[in-house]
Amino acid sequence: MCKKFYSYMIMTATNKVYCGYTDNVEERFKKHQEGSAAKFTRANKPVKIVYIKEHASKSEAMKAECALKKLTRPQKEKLFQTFIRENIYDRQKNSCHTELVSRFDKSCDSETNSK
């Protein structure tokens, strides 16, 4: 079985975008929420994952993360808005990314509603 790697973007409570890479998006997001993944997300509470892209190797994922970090804010927003539109609002698709992002959105919604 081939190990998969991912580049991702997270929206924070302060409306900032964090870019990273991992081999397990769900686990990494939990670490960010706990404050044990990155200094940036300890200072800027992660709210939801807004972009995920699968890569065949760690090297590809790291290069993609670097490219994401070089994008301007409007370019990042366009990218994650396209991702969200294609993966959440298009209910005809049935990919693991759709399910993963939907799960995080639901958990964020329930956290917001409980406050």
3-53 residue pLDDT tens: 899 999 999 999 999 999 999 999 999 999 999 999 999 999 999 999 999
The pLDDT assigned to 86 comes to: 79
What pTM was estimated for this model as a whole?
Answer: 0.76
Contact 49, 8 (CB under 8 A): yes
Distance CA 31, CA 34 (A): 5
For 41-91, what is each residue's pLDDT tens digit?
A: 999 999 999 999 999 999 999 999 999 999 999 999 999 888 888 776 554
The pLDDT assigned to 47 comes to: 93
Contact 3, 23 (CB under 8 A): yes
- Between residues 24 and 104, which one has the greater pLDDT? 24
- Structural domains present in the chain: 5-114 (3.40.1440)
In order of 52, 72, 94, the CA distances from 87 in angstroms are 10, 22, 9
In the three-class reduction of DSSP (H, G, I as helix; E, B as strand; rest coil), residue 114 is classed as: helix
Report residue 71 as tokens.
């994008």
> Alpha helix (H) ranges present in 44-95?
58-70, 73-84
The pLDDT assigned to 99 comes to: 53
Q: Classify burial at 27, counting beta carbons within 10 Å of its beta carbon; exposed 0-12, middle 13-18, buried 19 or more.
A: exposed
Distance CA 53, CA 88 (A): 14
